Amino acid sequence: MTVIKFSYDVPLDQTMTFEAIYHENLQLDLTEKQDIRDIPGSIFVWMFVDGALAGESYGNPLVADDEPIEGLKHLTDDEKRTGIYCYSNTILPAFQGQGFGAILKSHWLELAAGEGFETVYGHARPGGSQALNAKFGAVFLDSFPDWYGTGEEYRLYRLALR
């Protein structure tokens, strides 16, 4: 039987393995990741499967962003106040394709709803990430060809929590 546990306080230096999954232009260094975690209201969660680190998901309130996020400059103050941006919902390769991404996303969405957020925004990578967000009812708003020089077309999504 598979045992899944969640943790909310993992030392970030132990989570940097997730960065290797992303294109080099999207990888964060430890300081950048810590800066996101330090934002008031940010939500970080890690998933462990049978004791092994398997996934991470995190984001921060839109009102906390110093710079507008690509595609979200048009939001009203109320939409920013009730919205959260999901930076990452990542499963390590050894655990992919087993449904863990949906479990992690569901848990993170419940944490966000529990904190009073009404809407999640994010940019989803083609393939599994877009399919996962669509599974949760995300509406895709805009496409961004060659997102940050990755050569991939990411799509901005909005996911209502209420």
Q: What angle do CA 104, 102, 125 make, to 5 degrees?
A: 95
State the average pLDDT over residues 17-39.
95
Closest CA to 106 of 135, 130, 81, 126: 135
Confidence of residue 65 (pLDDT cuts 50, 70, 90): confident
Residue 39 neighbours by CB distance under 10 Å: 15
State yes or no: pLDDT of 67 exceeds 80. no
